Amino acid sequence: MQIKFETWVPTHETRMVDLADVPLVYREAKESASPTFTWNDLGDEVLIVTVGDDYSTVSLMREDTFYNLAVSDSDDMREIQVSGDTTMWPEGQILPREMGLEVLSRVPDVESLVRDYRWEEQ
């Protein structure tokens, strides 16, 4: 199984990474490149992980709806990098950096992700 790895800064680059190699690529990813990891791109279920130097975000598309993984109820907004753009993101949906890798390591078992984590509709 492969995961799409993209960097957006200074230019958009895409490569496919074997799931076994994701931990190394993930740990070497730098926020300055605005990296994202996508499982099952264009599929019925899609998982997208963005990575910052000290955070990650996880979005899941399921049944034509996008959800963000949440770790708290905080509605405060924080500025982060997503796909090369600076955007405001709910603080409660900004995760510890390693949590993104933890979630990626569980694909394609989407049922366990839905069951074991808290998701908020975008």
11-52 tens-digit pLDDT: 999 999 999 999 999 999 999 999 999 999 999 999 999 999
Task: Name the pLDDT band for 75 (thresholds 50, 70, 90).
Answer: confident
Query: Residue 118: is it exposed, middle or buried by C-beta count within 10 angstroms (0-12/13-18/19+)?
Result: middle
Q: Is residue 1 within 8 Å of residue 106, measured between CB atoms?
A: no
Report the 10 Å Cβ neighbour count for 96: 12
The answer to whether the pTM exceeds 0.75 is yes
pLDDT at 59: 98
Q: What is the mean pLDDT of the chain?
A: 96
Rg (CA), the chain: 13
Confidence of residue 116 (pLDDT cuts 50, 70, 90): very high
| CA–CA gap between residue 50 and residue 37 (Å, rounded) | 7
Indicate the pLDDT class of residue 97, thresholds 50, 70 and 90. very high
